[in-house]
Structure 1
Amino acid sequence: MAPRPKIIEGYEGIHSGPPVKSAVLILIMPDNNELAIPFIKRTNRGKYHAGQIALPGGKMDACDKDAIDTALRECEEEIGVPSKEISILGTLSELYIPLSNYNITPIVGSVLQKPEFILSPHEVDKVISIPLKELFDPNHKSTTSFSRHDHKIIAPGYRLGEYFIWGATAMIIYEMEQIMKTNTRQIEIRKTRKGTV
């Protein structure tokens, strides 16, 4: 799911400091009797990721003791989901983004019911709820090319109607998809073996 090129010519070495610690939240929620993930469409503000489909998240603040704190705080600030309602399920692999110099820790959480979203008007244009079965449908994986910062980008990703999820968000979701499919297969194998004993 990594776009090509990973580093855009002319943007190498533009960051003088160390990577910025950040986190995003993959929030698994019920929606119309299915499990879904709320993605955000960012507003057109911002230098690097304006207008993109993303997961709630952002950089770590001094008040955050760890990446989980960051993900929960950002989710509450951006889409209004109270931290106390979210159960943390685990973390995925850290991911470094050369263009923005962000080092992202993806956090996976869940809620018992679909939240009433309250959007941050400066950061979030809308929330898009996508069922897991649609997101993981092989027919929704595709590759597209477009210009980004005056350079041609070839990006694999998830195409769902008018929305295209690519870049770091697609890479994070793909890892979660593989983990969930592997665990499902292991459960099915255990059930089969139990049934044949």
Structure 2
Amino acid sequence: MNFDELTSFLEKRVQNSLPGDFAHQKMKPKLPSGAPLKMTHATPPRKGGVLILLYEDDGMVRFPLIERPSYEGIHSGQMALPGGRYEQEDLDQYHTALRESEEEIGINRHDIEIIGSLSEFFVAASNYMVLPVIGKIEKKPSFIPEPREVADIVTPEFGQLIDDARLKEKEITVRNGFKMICPYYDLEDRVVWGATAMMLSELVEIMKEYPTR
């Protein structure tokens, strides 16, 4: 997959109508009974931003995912895109995604060129409205994980994401023994599920339009 052709396609494509919830629903966890998960919150969602950072490495297009450390929280140990919550210092959610990614994985935000964004996504588990920002960087980054927020960084090849063989499903047990049936992407032998998988699913849907030779 050619890096320049891919990033050029995405930059143009995200300016048009996006598949949004149609794509998100394909990766949404459900109860073992098959019933959909329902969560309500008493307060409005906070804003956040995450980064899908594309770069070329030895002829392959890759992007970083982080593994969250184990902690007493909703997203303990999960695979995620780098990013976090909007702060008052941020100009917008694009800035949030860049700032948080710099803090979490040690990339210089000024080296990143923004391509665009996917649809805003509501993370029901933590009550956040997140903007998935797509960016590119012209050189292979040297990642430096922030140990309080990042247990590990993996860099799957972009082609894995759009490989149907990588789309799987399993039962996952979360806090308090709560079980869910979760579609997931098997990337670098990691289980990428939940909100991250749902956001990436929109990118996968868009890539169905990518011209092939």
**TM-score band, normalised by the shorter chain?**
0.7 to 0.9
CA distance in 2, matches of 1:34, 1:62: 37
Aligned pair count? 182
Give the aligned partner of residue 63 of structure 2: 37
Q: Structure 1 vs Structure 2: percent identity of aligned residues?
A: 38
The answer to whether structure 1 residue 58 and structure 2 residue 64 are counterparts is no
Tell me the CA shift for residue 141 of structure 1. 0.5
Give the aligned partner of residue 109 of structure 1: 135
CA RMSD across the alignment:
1.6
* 8 Å CA contact retained: 1:79, 1:118: yes
Give the aligned partner of residue 129 of structure 1: 155
> Could you tell me which of 109, 119, 122 is aligned with 2:145?
119
CA distance in 2, matches of 1:122, 1:45: 10
Moved over 4 A (4+): none
Query: Which residues of 2 match residues 13-52 of structure 1 at below 5 A?
Result: 13=40, 15-52=41-78
* 8 Å CA contact retained: 2:102, 2:108: yes
TM-score under structure 1 normalisation? 0.87
Give the aligned partner of residue 99 of structure 1: 125
CA distance in 1, matches of 2:148, 2:129: 23
Tell me the CA shift for residue 180 of structure 1. 2.4
Structure showing greater radius of gyration is 1
> Could you tell me which of 83, 105, 109 is aligned with 1:79?
105
What amino acid maps onto 2:182 in structure 1? A
The answer to whether structure 1 residue 154 and structure 2 residue 181 are counterparts is yes
Q: Give the 3-state SS of the residue equivalent to 1:43 in structure 2.
A: coil
Runs of 5+ unmatched residues, structure 2: 1-26
* 8 Å CA contact retained: 1:53, 1:163: yes
Tell me the CA shift for residue 161 of structure 1. 4.8
Structure 1 residues 46 and 26: CA distance shift in structure 2, 3 A: farther
CA distance in 2, matches of 1:131, 1:146: 25
What amino acid maps onto 1:4 in structure 2? K
User: 1:149-197 CA deviation, whole Å, 9 max, x = no partner?
Assistant: 2211110011135311011111111111221231326xx6xxxxxxxxx
Runs of 5+ unmatched residues, structure 1: 189-197
Structure 1 residues 46 and 58: CA distance shift in structure 2, 3 A: farther
CA distance in 2, matches of 1:30, 1:51: 27
Which structure: greater strand fraction? 1
* 8 Å CA contact retained: 1:45, 1:123: no
Higher mean alpha-carbon deviation, 171-180 vs 136-145, is at 171-180
